[in-house]
Amino acid sequence: MNRPMWIALAVALGAGNLLAQPVQKKGAAPQPAASTVQLHDFADSSSYALGINIMQMVKDQQFPLRREILQQAIADALDGKRLALAEQDVAELFQRYQRQKQAEQQAKQAQQAAKNRAEGKKFLEQNAKRAGVKTTPSGLQYEVIVQGNGPKPSGPKAKVKVHYRGMLLDGTEFDSSYKRGEPAEFELDQVIKGWSEAVQLMTVGSKYKFYLPPDLAYGDREVGGGVIPPGSTLIFEVELLETN
C-alpha cells in the first residue's frame, strides 16, 4: 500500500472517540483520568500528537470498530507484516461505508422534510385566512407592510437592491441584511423561485412580508449545514430599495 494501513483505517474509517468516557447519568460528571504517558523527546511528543490529531479527525465518523483490531492493524503496518486486507478491499470497505452513511442521511432528511412540509402546509392554510394576506396561483403568500410609489422591477432579469430578513416558522432568523449593515443586490433570475416572484410584486419604497412554501424555496434540501432544515416553509420581510 502507498500509505500505512493504520492511517487509512483511522482517517477513512473513523475510530470513534476511543478516549471518551462512558455516558454518565444526569449530574456532575467526573473529570476524565489524566494520561500516564511519559513524553521524553521530540519523537515521543510527535507520536502522541499524531495520535491525537488522528482521533480529532475521525471521532465523528462513528464507524463500527473494535479497538484491539485497530491496534493490531497499526502494529502490523508498523512492523511491515503482510496485511490482512488488500488495498482494494480497504477502498471497497470505505466506499460501502460512505454509501451506507449517505443512505442513512437521505432517509433522515426525507423524514424531516415530510414533517416540516406538513407543519408548513398547516401554517399556510391558517395564514391564508388572515386579513391582508394574499395568495398567488403558485402558492406564494404575501402581505403589504408599507406600500411604496416607486417603479416595479421590469421582469425576472431585473437587478434589485433590497434589505431583508429571513425566518423559519418558529421565528428563528437565519439571515438578515440589516444585521450585516449592507443591502443585498442581485438579479431576480439568480435567486429562489419564491423570491423572484415575490419581489416583482413590489414597488420601490415598499416593504412586504412573504411566506414561501418549500417548493418555492429550497425544497427538501438542507441548506447551510442545517440552518434551513429540509422541507422548510420560509418567511421573509423584504424592503425594495432600488431596481433597474
Quick: pLDDT tens for 96-155: 988 998 899 899 999 999 999 999 999 999 999 999 999 999 999 999 999 999 999 999
Per residue in 51-78, pLDDT (tens digit) is: 888 777 667 677 777 788 888 888 898 8
Confidence class of residue 28 from pLDDT cuts 50, 70 and 90?
A: low
Kindly list the catalytic residues.
164, 174-175, 192, 218, 236
Rg of the chain over CA atoms, in angstroms? 27
Angle at 221 between CA 195 and CA 161, to 5 degrees: 25
As a 3-state breakdown, the chain gives helix, strand, coil percent values, each rounded to 5, of 40, 20, 45
CATH number 3.10.50.40 is the correct assignment for the domain at 126-243: yes
pTM (predicted TM-score): 0.68
Burial of 233 by CB count in 10 Å (0-12 exposed, 13-18 middle, 19+ buried)? buried
Say what the pLDDT of residue 163 is: 95
Grid coordinates standing for 166? 429571513
